[in-house]
Amino acid sequence: MEENRYLTFALGKGRLAKKTLALFEKIGITCEEMKDTDTRKLIFVNEEEKMRFFLAKGPDVPTYVEYGAADIGIVGEDTILEEKRKIFEVLDLGFGKCRMCVCGPQKAVGLLQKREWMRVASKYPNIAKDYFYNKRHQTVEIIKLNGSIELAPIVGLSEVIVDIVETGSTLRENGLEVLEEVCPLSARMVVNPVSMKMENERITRLIALLKQELSKDSTV
């Protein structure tokens, strides 16, 4: 691969991006431009390291990486499972820890136990479908929503939801609870399969540095 090629990173916007940049700083990779919160720039360059970073909506990160528009992506495991893109998952970054759960009011427990037909609202229709059809062998109707999923059982759109639970406070404040856990989640580093071959040395070195740093401090 040509010597001056930039390694391009797609970072999921928000908390994950901030934690990723903090972790990268610890291994000596900084991107000063990105710290300016007023900027409208979309792509940031570290000339010394020949690296470029851009922020994207979480669900778009695996897309950029699959098509090779980004060599590397940092994104939640929830998004990786939902998007099912052809990408390599290479590292668990240990932060962004939460759980994918089936949640609802206590009265929905009976429907789950008896495997009765019900409606399931979620921002993650593929994860919800896989869980109910392949793991629980329960026929349900999946309703795709884009946010504030906890509203669905409250206003009668669905009996339960499949959603992320971090602190549990959104559930508590809305009279809902975790009924079943689907899987634990955390932030992951993903790599384009062609980049993994063509830029193997740089990417392998980066993974090794990150692993070393993560083993020092598991509270990043």
Q: Which two tokens stand for residue 52?
A: 């470029």
Would you count residue 166 as binding ligand PRP (CB under 6 A)? yes
Q: Which of residues 124-163 bind ligand PRP (CB under 6 A)?
A: 147-150, 163
Q: For ligand PRP, which residue of 162, 164, 176, 203 counts as binding (CB under 6 A)?
A: 164
**Cβ closest to ligand PRP, residue 164 vs residue 191:** 164
Choosing from 10, 91, 128, 165, the residue that interacts with ligand PRP (CB under 6 A) is 165
Distance CA 209, CA 203 (A): 10
Distance between CA atoms of residues 48 and 30, nearest Å: 10
Q: Which of residues 167-186 bind ligand PRP (CB under 6 A)?
A: 167-170
C-alpha count within 13 angstroms, C-beta hemisphere, residue 70: 26
Contacts of ligand PRP in 92-131 (CB under 6 A): 123
Shortest Cβ 189–ligand PRP spacing (Å): 21
What separation in angstroms does the CA of 150 have from each of 125, 161, 178?
15, 7, 11
Based on the shown chain and the rule CB under 6 A, indicate whether residue 16 belongs to the binding site for ligand PRP.
no
What gap in Å lies between CA 214 and CA 94, rounded to an integer?
8
DSSP-based three-state secondary structure for 160: strand
Closer residue to ligand PRP in complex, CB, 17/206: 17
44, containing H or E segment: strand 43-46
Q: Taking Cα atoms as reference points, which of 122, 119, 111, 103 lies closest to residue 174?
A: 103
Stretch 24-43 residues interacting with ligand PRP (CB under 6 A): none
Closer CB to ligand PRP, 86 or 144, in the complex? 144
Question: Judged by CB, which is closer to ligand PRP: 71, or 150?
Answer: 150
The helix (run of H) or strand (run of E) holding residue 3 is none
Q: Which residue is nearest to ligand PRP (CB)?
A: 147
Nearer of residues 19 and 202 to ligand PRP, judged by Cβ: 19
Binding site for ligand PRP (CB under 6 A): 123, 147-150, 163-170
